[in-house]
Amino acid sequence: MHSHPALTRVMSMVVFILLWQAAVMLFTPELLPAPYAVLTNLMSHIDSGELPHHLAITLRRIAISFLCAMLLGSLLGLVMGHFKRLDLWLDSVMTLALNVPALVTIILCFIWFGLNETAALIAVIVNKTPNIAVTMREGARAVDKRLLDVAKAYQVPAGRTFIKVYLPQLYPYFLAAARGGLALVWKIVLVVELLGCSDGVGFQLSLFFQYFDITSVLAYTLAFACIIFALEAGVLRPWERRVLKWR
């Protein structure tokens, strides 16, 4: 019926909200506000200027830690993928880093570096870098040597080989790392803010939790989800389409 994928996406959201509304009307639960109540609440938070303020701070933290983690993780992953001996050395450390709970890293960072912005950012970066490195290591291992041989046999200049022959083989892995990275980073940033910051969405959520203000919790979540959704649809997906056009 709905052959248009965008329409299907929208429809699934509409169905979800209708079900939510129906549940509220049927059971009139005390702890679940209706979608409409959440929306009005959201508007008042936006009007007061408090939500944009905290959202901007959180988005800034996400952007910085995401970019740093992507950069560090990619470098580490590519180096590990290309140098077997180094890979062997770092592999068990990597497995360890992947399996340390985010909470532990966050607590340690705040204890070691103090309750400040830098500690918060480091905590997120340390959490995320290993995941990106693992993905990029796969990418480096999958690089087709036969295509690099073409560039070598034709004496293609190094810079051109890097941009036209090497990097394109990594794009799918960059994309996968960025996708997974974004999804994880924003969740970790909220936890970091909950534990050791005096502003940001995570901090606000902890306040609402103390007052049992469920409507505000949902309103903030909604605002946040919308932005992540927009990033995914407006940046990541078009980039993917462009880069993987040849398929």
Partner 1 sequence: MALTYQIDIANKSFKDDGGNQRTIISDLSITLTAGEFVTLLGPSGAGKSTLLNIVAGLDTDYQGKVKLALPYGQPARVALMFQEPRLMPWLTICDNVMLVCEGASSQRRSNALYWLQQVGLSGAEYQYPAQLSGGMLKRAALARAFACEPDILLMDEPFSSLDIPAADSLRNLLTQLWQARRTTVVYVTHDITEAITLSDRILLLSSQPMQIQEDVSLTAQRPRNPLDDELFTLSQLFKQSLADPA
Which region, judged by CB under 8 A, interacts with partner 1, from 13-21, 159-167, 191-199, 225-233? 159-167
Taking the complex as a whole, the smallest distance from the CB of residue 142 to partner 1 amounts, in Å, to 14
Which region, judged by CB under 8 A, interacts with partner 1, from 25-33, 199-207, 215-223, 239-247? 239-247
Measured distance CA(226)–CA(140) in Å, rounded: 34
- 16, with CB counted inside 10 A (0-12, 13-18, 19+), is exposed
Report 167-196 residues binding partner 1 (CB under 8 A). 168, 171
Taking the complex as a whole, the smallest distance from the CB of residue 168 to partner 1 amounts, in Å, to 4
Closer residue to partner 1 in complex, CB, 148/222: 148
Return the structure tokens found at 234. Answer: 């407006």
Note whether 153 binds partner 1 by CB under 8 A: yes
**Are the CB atoms for 57 and 199 separated by under 8 Å?**
yes
Q: How many helices (H) and strands (E) does the chain have?
A: 12, 0
Return the structure tokens found at 202. Answer: 């995570």
Q: Which of 223, 161, 145, 144 is closest to 190 using CA atoms?
A: 223
Closer residue to partner 1 in complex, CB, 164/237: 164
Chain residues that interact with partner 1, rule: CB under 8 A: 146-147, 149-156, 160, 164-165, 168, 171, 245-247
